[in-house]
Amino acid sequence: MMTIPQKLEKISEWTFNNYIFPSEKLSKTLNKELLSSIENLLEEEIPEEFIELYSHFNGDEEGEGTGSLLGLQFMDLKRVISDLEFSRTLIKPKGKKLEESQTTKHLISKIVEYFLSTIPKDKNWIRLELECSPHSLGGPYLYLEDNEERIILKFLEDSDIVFELCNKLHQLEKDFINWDKLEFVIYPSGLYDMKRIETNWDEIMDLKSFPDKSVKLKYFHYKWLPIFTDGGGNFIGMDLDPDENGKKGQIIIFGRDERTLAVISNDLNSFLDFVLHTIDKKPEIFLTENHIHEIFKHLVGAPHELLEEN
């Protein structure tokens, strides 16, 4: 009987022989110390199947070839940690009241001062609207006195200052409100209105589970352990916190573009068996232009209305 690493190796060999671009080679450069970091992020023990796999291989070797699992990239432990850390940034604190300190008020004032400095001296204006976060800037939109004409201001070369100020503010406040962006309306007097915008991605994404109530309807979850990725923010991984009809350790599809959170198999071992069986019986299904995630959903019987458009 083949082990989990042997099964993945066989799938990788098939991928190499059947895909247009040679697949990545499986990496044997291991760093087992990273496993403890993953346990801390998961807040529980790592499944034995995951440890068995990563005790032999640490993802695909770096390169430009097709990923080793039917074109999907086998993630190394550093990439797994990075995506788990991202998942945790989406956790929204509950029951804590935010009270602004002198430090937070100072940071907000510095953001306002920066944007006031971007306004051309020859403009007569009535308000400036913008949004910002540690990673993005929106606007700024300057509304002029004449007919409320709006112009977009150019960012200054030192706009990284805003990212730094927003990041410092976010770090101070995230345990109280894990906001996604700040919205400002600034007036010529220097007065301003500001809102902290907290986005509930779980509700916005209109998520569905297949089978019903097997996967919790979340955009990302820090207890979803990613293993394979399409490189575009979508993953196949282990679900360590299933919904009422699911099974802990089940293999699911999730990610940035996924609206249907589908269960592909009960565990990693049976998932690889499923792939090998399909390669043996219906290899042509993995050689179409459809996204591999949609192929898996089709194979496990997801209704057509739950499949994503290609």
Q: Where a domain ends, among 172, 197, 222?
A: 197
Please state which of the ranges 63-77, 230-244, 277-291 shows the lowest mean pLDDT. 63-77
Residue 29 CB partners (closer than 8 Å, separation 6+): 58
Decide if pLDDT at 310 tops 60: no
Judged against a pLDDT cut of 80, whether residue 195 lies above it is answered with yes
**Are residues 257 and 232 part of one domain?**
yes
Is the Cβ–Cβ distance between 259 and 208 less than 8 Å? yes
What gap in Å lies between CA 42 and CA 249, rounded to an integer?
A: 13
| Residue at 108 is within a domain | yes
**CATH number of the domain to which 138 belongs:** 3.30.500.20
Sign of CA dihedral 299, 302, 303, 307: negative
Cα–Cα distance, 271 to 183 (Å, whole number): 45
The number of folded domains in the chain is: 2
More confident position, 64 or 61 = 61
Pairing label, strands 234-239, 137-144: unpaired
Host domain of residue 55: 4-90+203-303
> Same domain for 272 and 151?
no
Alpha-carbon distances of 254 from 217, 264, 267, rounded to whole Å: 10, 11, 16
**Residue 4 confidence (pLDDT):** 97
Strands (E), the chain: 73-74, 125-132, 137-144, 150-152, 181-186, 192-197, 208-210, 224-229, 234-239, 250-255, 260-265
Residue 141 lies in a domain: yes
The residue from 175, 197, 219 where one domain ends is 197
Tokens coding 5: 């690493």
pLDDT at 306 over 60: no
Task: Look up the CATH number of the domain holding residue 250.
Answer: 3.40.1580.10
Domain edge (last residue) among 197, 216, 234: 197
Q: What separation in angstroms does the CA of 25 have from each of 67, 98, 237, 240?
A: 8, 50, 20, 28
Q: Model's pTM, two decimal places? A: 0.80
